[in-house]
Chain A
Amino acid sequence: MALDLTMPVLVVDDYKTMIRIIRNLLKQLGFDDVDEASDGTEALGKMKERRYGLVISDWNMEPMTGYELLKHVRSDPGLTRTPFIMVTAESKTENVIAAKKAGVNNYIVKPFNAQTLKGKIEAVFSD
């Protein structure tokens, strides 16, 4: 899968400031088409209306967490191939293992920097 800077990206986080930070970092990396959702339920609704090239999601949100969103995405034949990066403060080993088992493409521990985000996006699209 090739990295396409024109693809739409969906950022999912319940903290508006974090969405703003990721949106600005993505803009610096060249991504201009960025949508946002404040939890898994809203994200899932948006994903059914539009095909996203990448989802960047927090874990801890209500009512639907990023982990639940990931499992929904991977179990939906229409969405299952969507690249999915988890960006979260959940840094226990069991979280990383659970996300990997559920099919996450990469995992970023908060706080993170622009270089880490860039590196993980590139890694996802070089696999």
Chain B
Amino acid sequence: MAPAYPPEQLAHIVEFVRAQRNDLSLEDVMVLAERMAESLDGTMERIDTLLHDEFQSIIGEIGSLRRDIGGLRPDHMRFEKIPEAGSELDAVVEATELATGAIMTAAEDIMAADASDSEAFKALVDDRMIVIFEACSFQDITGQRIAKVVKTLGWIEERLGMLSRTLKLSNVEGEAPPETDAERRDRELLLHGPQMKGEGVDQSMVDDFFAPKPKASTTTSDQNDIDALFD
């Protein structure tokens, strides 16, 4: 049986929590809850055997919860998986920019070339086309990098699902966190970013919106127009 903690030791724990409250982790709280439950164990045993069993069950649940959360490897997610995914996306942006730059430079060279010497012009076009083909190979590498990021997102989703099930949070309605400055800016300045296919408006809808409206006839009305006024 776990030892009962005398009041002075509990006072030490409370003092520790007060001192550490700025960076108190979930692990700290769980350890404290476990110790508190253990400290009451002896007392409660004397009061009621039923309560004793309840407390034993609570202690068991807390211990199990600690093991489950440990199994989720939160530090692995925070310090390895998420930074790795960020680095992959940075590499995708860099590779895309490099490839786009190479393709555009090749195209600009062709546009600026003197076509009067057909042989030299053809040689230049052939050369720049090879550069364009080579640059397009970025898609293979970026595709693989993005696949790794998608895999990481799946890994995180799976672990968040496990955490939600472990803590039985699926039916808990959490309070929405307060809006950040960046979120407020996005909302106020209508910064939604690109829409998925089928969402948002396409160019033809925009064109309709900007098309000049046909002027209403002010000269004559036929009977249908007059009837419409009395419907």
Partner among A24, A90, A127 whose Cβ is within 8 Å of the Cβ of B191: A90
Does B200 reach chain A (CB closer than 8 Å)?
yes
| List of A residues within 8 angstroms of B26 by Cβ | none
Given A21-B104, A24-B111, A93-B201, decide whether A65 and B191 contact each other with a Cβ distance below 8 A. yes
Does B97 reach chain A (CB closer than 8 Å)?
yes
* Surface stretch bound by A, among B124-132, B137-145, B203-211: B203-211
Give min CB distance, A88 to chain B, whole Å.
9
Which A residues lie at the B interface, using CB under 8 A? 17, 20-21, 24, 28, 59-60, 65, 67-68, 89-98, 100, 106-110, 112, 116, 123, 127
Q: Are B209 and A96 in contact (CB under 8 A)?
A: yes
| Contact string against A for B residues 37-75, beta-carbon threshold 8 Å, 1 for contact and 0 otherwise | 000000000000000000000000000000000000000
Q: Are A92 and B108 in contact (CB under 8 A)?
A: no
Total of A-B residue pairs, C-beta within 8 Å: 67
Interface size class of B (residues with CB under 8 A): 20 to 34
**A–B pairs, 28, beta carbons within 8 Å:** A17-B104, A20-B104, A24-B104, A59-B191, A60-B193, A65-B191, A67-B190, A89-B193, A89-B195, A90-B190, A90-B192, A90-B193, A91-B194, A91-B200, A91-B201, A91-B206, A92-B201, A93-B200, A93-B201, A95-B190, A95-B192, A100-B209, A100-B210, A107-B206, A109-B201, A116-B203, A123-B210, A127-B212
Partner among A20, A98, A112 whose Cβ is within 8 Å of the Cβ of B203: A112
Q: Are B200 and A92 in contact (CB under 8 A)?
A: yes
Interface residues in B183-199 by Cβ distance below 8 A to A read: 189-195, 199
Distance in angstroms between the alpha carbons of A4 and B101 in the assembled complex: 30
Q: Are B202 and A109 in contact (CB under 8 A)?
A: yes
Q: Are A65 and B108 in contact (CB under 8 A)?
A: no
Give min CB distance, A57 to chain B, whole Å.
14
Give min CB distance, A53 to chain B, whole Å.
20
Give min CB distance, B64 to chain A, whole Å.
47
| List of A residues within 8 angstroms of B212 by Cβ | 127
Which among A17, A24, A96, A109 has the highest number of chain B CB atoms within 10 Å?
Answer: A109
| List of A residues within 8 angstroms of B202 by Cβ | 91, 109
**New A-B pairs, 6, CB < 8 Å, besides A17-B97, A91-B194:** A24-B104, A24-B111, A92-B192, A94-B190, A95-B192, A100-B209
